[in-house]
Amino acid sequence: MIQLKDVRWTYQGGETAVLDGLDLHVGRGETVVLCGPSGSGKSSALRLMNGLIPLFHGGALDGDVRVDGEPITDLAQVGRVTGTVLQHPRRQFFTDAVDTELAFALENFGAPPQRIRERVDEVIADFGLAELTGRLRELSGGQQQRVACAAAITHEPPVLLFDEPTSNLSPQGIADVTAVLRELQALGATLVIAEHRLHYLRELADRIVVLQDGRVTADWNREDFAGLTEEKLRAEGLRSLDPPERTSVTTAFAHGPSISPGADQDREAVSVAEEKPAAATTSGEESRSGVVLRDVRCAFRGRRVLDIAEAHLPAGAITAVTGPNGVGKSTLARILAGLQRHTGEVLLDGRPMSRSRRQRESAIVMQDVQRQLFTDSVTAELRLGTVPDHADHAATVLADLDLDGLGDRHPLSLSGGQQQRLVVAAVRLSGRRVVIFDEPSSGVDRRHLQSMTRTMRDVAAGGAVVVLISHDADLLALAADQELCLRPIE
């Protein structure tokens, strides 16, 4: 179904090949998982398969690329036989509403209106999208991911390409995507999934292909894959195959309609892989250094999306904000960063913080970090927000996040995981009092999870309030000192 033979690809302006002698065959009806370190070429391989390379992205391509037995000659041709889900779904939306987004491909291919309506209704029911009635830009990252998955399959292409489809999804969202993948397999679809999270795929994948430096270094069938030891996975830079185990975690001091009564609800908690510092004390009767929220409420189009009577986010500790998709986690991040209007007050060390002060004293790593890259080189990006006291640490931070040697690269030429780590590095050097990481582990492999955790701990050790919004159980286990679990407002 898909044939890549001796493919070499270099992006326009790039000095080295991102894909270098890539050979890969995917049979009709196969489910193949592409994994490997950040920057190994997984996303570029998917772009070959859907024609974005070289028909959209400029560069030099050598080798043979065929999909459904034919060379790719135009995007309309390959668009009929492939559907793609990107790491950051908002980049692939063409409309502003769920139903019109689902209908978009069928309309472009001239399907009869009645068939479009029937098919859109089917997909809305299958993906549980009926409750998502607002504009796409108002949905949470996880909800947008569900819509993107649904839109990719609405025109029923025989080949589905997924680039980290679970990166922003809650455990329930991952279960929903897993169920859809099983249904697609039953229908005979060919699936290629680039992913760092592997535990939900161990029973789905027919083959697991490891990429390193733009070429295949390992190709396992399902049985061989299931038998890999943790040592082997660690050596390959891959995450664990086992589902996370539950463990207790300190509950943040908080109450209000948006606060879940238990810290473990709707979270993949895992056993801690390495010793963590003791969490900061968070009792309401103890010291309130850090951020305090009082009567903080936010509504969109008359619907409350966040309602916190009181919460304490201590300085010097990492507070994990968890909960299902759409409960207001990213809204809370925007409030803390001064980017979202709300009622109530936010205090830092007992002093009220206006929105403008929060904008000056906070830093945020967004889900889609390309929105935070403003300059023409990695070095310039770091200089943009680095305070003088931290300038001497730039080289150390880059080395710890495996970005040394990339100072002259344009930020947009980096892989998704490298871009993510670049923004994390910039935040580390910003010297801000409140630092928010909103789903920072998209595109991040096992080794870089640990370096990212060290960076967050360094920020907390400097006295900052660190807030981690994540569904990533592996990252939560490594980083979280306490948990603030949100729930839907009844």
User: Looking at the domain assignment, is residue 241 inside a domain?
Assistant: no
User: Looking at the domain assignment, is residue 242 inside a domain?
Assistant: no
Domain boundary among 235, 264, 299: 235
Nearest to 123 by CA among 95, 158, 148, 160: 148
| Residues 274 and 423 both lie in one domain | yes
User: Looking at the domain assignment, is residue 245 inside a domain?
Assistant: no
| Residues 296 and 164 both lie in one domain | no
Alpha carbon 474 to chain centroid, angstroms: 13
Mean pLDDT within 15-29: 94
| Residues 280 and 197 both lie in one domain | no
Query: Which structural domain, as residue segments, surrounds residue 369?
Result: 250-485
pLDDT tens, position by position, 82-141:
999 987 788 889 999 999 999 999 999 999 999 999 999 999 988 888 888 778 988 877
User: Looking at the domain assignment, is residue 400 inside a domain?
Assistant: yes
User: Looking at the domain assignment, is residue 19 inside a domain?
Assistant: yes
Query: At residue 288, does pLDDT exceed 80?
Result: no
| Residues 217 and 308 both lie in one domain | no
Alpha carbon 408 to chain centroid, angstroms: 26
pLDDT range class, residue 276, cuts 50, 70, 90: very low
Domain count, the chain: 2
pLDDT range class, residue 18, cuts 50, 70, 90: very high
| Residues 30 and 141 both lie in one domain | yes
| Residues 203 and 119 both lie in one domain | yes
| Residues 38 and 77 both lie in one domain | yes
Separation of alpha carbons 61 and 18, rounded Å: 11
pLDDT tens, position by position, 422-434:
999 898 888 899 9
| Residues 73 and 217 both lie in one domain | yes
| Residues 337 and 472 both lie in one domain | yes
* Contact yes or no for 423/373 (Cβ under 8 A): yes
pLDDT tens, position by position, 182-217:
888 988 999 999 998 898 998 999 999 999 999 999
| Residues 226 and 271 both lie in one domain | no
Give the CATH number of the domain where residue 46 resides: 3.40.50.300
| Residues 175 and 272 both lie in one domain | no
Query: At residue 409, does pLDDT exceed 50?
Result: yes
pLDDT tens, position by position, 335-362:
999 999 999 999 999 999 999 999 999 9
- Burial (CB < 10 A; 0-12, 13-18, 19+), residue 323, is buried
pLDDT at 245: 65
User: Looking at the domain assignment, is residue 268 inside a domain?
Assistant: yes
Nearest to 443 by CA among 423, 462, 463: 423
Whole-number average pLDDT of the chain: 87
Query: At residue 268, does pLDDT exceed 60?
Result: no
pLDDT at 208: 95
Lowest mean pLDDT among 256-265, 321-330, 392-401: 256-265
| Residues 282 and 323 both lie in one domain | yes
Percent of the residues in the chain that have a pLDDT greater than 90, as a whole number: 51
Query: At residue 322, does pLDDT exceed 60?
Result: yes
pLDDT at 412: 84
User: Looking at the domain assignment, is residue 243 inside a domain?
Assistant: no
User: Looking at the domain assignment, is residue 464 inside a domain?
Assistant: yes
Mean pLDDT within 455-464: 92
